[in-house]
Structure 1
């Protein structure tokens, strides 16, 4: 299996939302990628500019970061031709690697605009931005995601070429991928959620990277999802045995829930539910990961803070 480290550049409406096409808010204007072998060495490259069909004038912010202009893009080829060529170049046995999840989302949005065949599901990919944050974070405290330029600098990778051309950024991403020396990188995959499961048969349930992951079919609302036993049940991330919660599910934000469970054999773990709204349906992305005592205390404190804020709101309403 090869790794396809991909980067895209895209343009948007020069006039903001008023000039935006509803089916394609961002139009891809360049695809760049490198093919990386099992030893994380670059063995091939792909690069092509794309002649825009919707947004022919570069947005002012896009213009400032790119190393080419409308004249260069006018010499490019159509998206459908380039994308088909790129997917053929990828081969049969590969996994996409990107710096953040947006490139895959925009690739599929543009493919849908031209009514191209869907990418195979379920679609695994390596979110190298997230993996980098995990590998380099030694404090245990959640960190903000690093930009590619920052990661390249921190890894002391020579900056011989300018950023913000798709091929150069793909090369830099591949070099960061190799330099950060992530263990068992094949197990660090994420699932692309551009297309969500339509029914129970398509639901995703898997254990990998020392965690359990579940992606549900759609529910009509959050309450219907939380009433489903599979959504809220807690199983050990390692042995899959059903266990009781140590801290019951509570709303951490309008779109997420948290809990803590304990397996007598494998210790404590944190459960997280995130909701994704698509076409008036709600999908659940649940993960269960190990957690230490410090993490449990942090969750307890978060739960208490949320309770106090609710009390304050109720008090303010009653006093008014």
Structure 2
């Protein structure tokens, strides 16, 4: 039987610019706090441990003020490798991780990678983003609020200081327990480990949209030529749809298309191109049926993208035309 593991991390970072450039471990975890809930979301245990730092030997001045920890507080703590082993054993088999937002799970795995520990998974990890669930259940589904805002909104007790791992995990668990059951289907996926082949790719349909997470590609060009990535298939009747607006991008990172299903109407597709941890690229595609306002919105996006492209092209031409050749520069009177 799986447990919900509602956890929170506190981490430190380098004080100097040189230290901050440590790409393998930009954030070193110094505290893990967690609340374990059973399948009925009833609390069955807690976990709270400080971690003795191995990489950054001084506490970043801003971090220390936020989390109220000093290096003296950490000097007698166990190293990360000991604490993470104890934590994972405490979690039990097949835990369902829950966190406020999307930052903690990748940082946990990055710290594990730094010490060459076995990975949590060989592909994306399904987890509960309680921050997103709060927005879906109580607001517009798009806003992302602070943890304290969520506690105040639900009028839950604030009897502990924020920004310590166990107290933040407790607050997150309290909000998670207040989420109506029908919203628990909106799971999230952590892609620290990306799908490595088509079998590991994620295809999931929710009530009002569908999500696809692609396998990893060597470069963006290969990704954007993949038939599955650029397909516009109806996620309800599974028919390939005719595109009313072909794929376009306003920024080189997000790509949009508009298609029409004879049975279900207009479908907006959005592809976000993301960089994987090992340097490759993968796509997160969402598809959603939209009304007339949604159709108009994507048409306006396309017009703005075209206008931006024209401006960029014009500026490039002006720079090219205004650039002097070496001969012209030699004949310029201002240079004589």
Judge same fold: TM > 0.5, yes or no.
yes
1:302 corresponds to which residue? 301
* 1:244 corresponds to 2:242: yes
Asked whether the equivalents of residues 152 and 176 of structure 1 are also in contact (C-alpha less than 8 Å), the reply is yes
In structure 2, distance between residues paired with 1:151 and 1:70: 31
Asked whether the equivalents of residues 234 and 243 of structure 1 are also in contact (C-alpha less than 8 Å), the reply is yes
The farther-off stretch of 62-71 and 273-282 is 273-282
Please state how far the C-alpha of 1:317 moved relative to its aligned partner: 4.5
Q: Look at both structures and tell me which one has the larger radius of gyration over its CA atoms.
A: 2
Spell out the pairing of 1:136-155 with structure 2 (5 A cutoff). 136-138=138-140, 142-143=142-143, 145-155=144-154
TM-score, structure 2 normalization: 0.87
C-alpha distance 71-317 of structure 1, shift in aligned 2 (>3 A): closer
* 1:168 corresponds to 2:186: no
The C-alpha deviation readout for 1:100-137, integer Å capped at 9, x for no partner, is 11101110011011111111233101112222223333
1:51 corresponds to which residue? 52
Aligned length: 316
In structure 1, distance between residues paired with 2:99 and 2:199: 28
* 1:183 corresponds to 2:182: yes
In structure 2, distance between residues paired with 1:211 and 1:98: 23
In structure 2, distance between residues paired with 1:206 and 1:151: 27
SS at match of 1:252: coil
Q: Please, which runs of 5 or more residues in structure 2 have no aligned partner? A: 323-336
In structure 1, distance between residues paired with 2:177 and 2:250: 35
In structure 1, distance between residues paired with 2:238 and 2:166: 42
1:63 corresponds to which residue? 64
1:156 corresponds to which residue? 155
Q: Please, which runs of 5 or more residues in structure 1 have no aligned partner? A: none
1:96 corresponds to which residue? 97
Asked whether the equivalents of residues 210 and 238 of structure 1 are also in contact (C-alpha less than 8 Å), the reply is no
The C-alpha deviation readout for 1:235-259, integer Å capped at 9, x for no partner, is 1122322222232211132211011
Asked whether the equivalents of residues 244 and 262 of structure 1 are also in contact (C-alpha less than 8 Å), the reply is yes
Please state how far the C-alpha of 1:209 moved relative to its aligned partner: 4.7
In structure 2, distance between residues paired with 1:17 and 1:294: 49
C-alpha distance 207-19 of structure 1, shift in aligned 2 (>3 A): closer
SS at match of 2:249: strand
Please state how far the C-alpha of 1:233 moved relative to its aligned partner: 0.8
The farther-off stretch of 280-289 and 168-177 is 280-289
Please state how far the C-alpha of 1:89 moved relative to its aligned partner: 1.0
The farther-off stretch of 300-309 and 24-33 is 300-309
Asked whether the equivalents of residues 211 and 288 of structure 1 are also in contact (C-alpha less than 8 Å), the reply is yes
